[in-house]
Amino acid sequence: MHSVKFASAKVPLAILAALVLAGFAIVAANAQTVSNNGTGTNNGYYYTLYTSSGSATMTFPEASQYPGNYAISWSGVGDMVGGKGWQTGSAQTIGYNVGSASGYNTISIYGWLTNPLVEYYITELGSLYTADATYKGSVSSDGHTYSTYEHQQVNQPSIEGTQTFEQYLDAWGGSSTGSNHTVTTANHFTHWKNLGMTVGTYNYQILGTEAYNGASGEVNATVW
């Protein structure tokens, strides 16, 4: 986080009731609304929303057709990070499509590692703040080149409470909205390891949108 998805004819009513309830459950899942802070699952994907101040709302408007879909709108946020993906990440190939976006700072493959605790960004749209980070080199993946930085966060919010931890930052930002794109995360994890940056145990991994410094905006994106 920025510091800086007919049985027996003897019981037709029971079957009908079950089908109706199941239908309501599906509608309810697709119509979930998350305000400011929350985690959970929707259509088989993990979601998370963190807001330090201001307001943000996450919904899943197209998830019945595209299970990895999410939308967030935010206003006056100190820091907001939200998205959809996997509760336990991996060195996997991720597809995504950002249908629309405004008022964001970055849209990234975003996640956490533990043992040691690390927050990472593979930034597809927008710009990472790297002014106080250490440049480590570059990596070419999926047709473009990312600049790699490392930065230590001191006494900052994390998945383990307030902690001091490293950030691994692969900065590109030249992607586009309205088209399908791919991120081969294994290329990034291997690159970090080759630089001596420890890749421990995978925690959550999402297509994350971040905004801060009083920003207001919206995003509608899908991950798979």
Decide: 174 and 128 in contact? Cβ < 8 Å: no
pLDDT reported for residue 16 = 29
pLDDT reported for residue 213 = 97
Phi, psi angle pair for 139, to nearest 5°: -140, 135
Does the annotation count 218 as an active-site position?
no
Six token digits for residue 76: 């006056």
Is domain 12-223 classified as CATH 2.60.120.180? Answer: yes
Tens place of pLDDT per residue across the chain (224 aa): 654 322 222 222 232 233 233 333 333 344 699 999 999 999 999 999 999 999 999 999 999 999 999 999 999 999 999 999 999 999 999 999 999 999 999 999 999 999 999 999 999 999 999 999 999 999 999 999 999 999 999 999 999 999 999 999 999 999 999 999 999 999 999 999 999 999 999 999 999 999 999 999 999 999 99
pLDDT reported for residue 31 = 60
Tell how far CA 189 is from the center of its chain.
Answer: 17
Domain boundaries in the chain?
Answer: 12-223
What is the model's pTM?
A: 0.87
Q: Hey, what amino acid is at 123?
A: T
pLDDT reported for residue 87 = 98
pLDDT reported for residue 1 = 62
pLDDT reported for residue 161 = 96
3-class state of residue 16 by DSSP: helix
Say which of 119, 124, 150, 218 is annotated catalytic: 119
pLDDT reported for residue 30 = 47
> Beta strand pairing status for 201-223 and 33-35?
unpaired
DSSP states of 141-199 as a string? ETTEEEEEEEEEEEEE--BTBSEEEEEEEEE--B--SSS-EEEEHHHHHHHHHHTT---
Say which of 124, 150, 210, 218 is annotated catalytic: 210
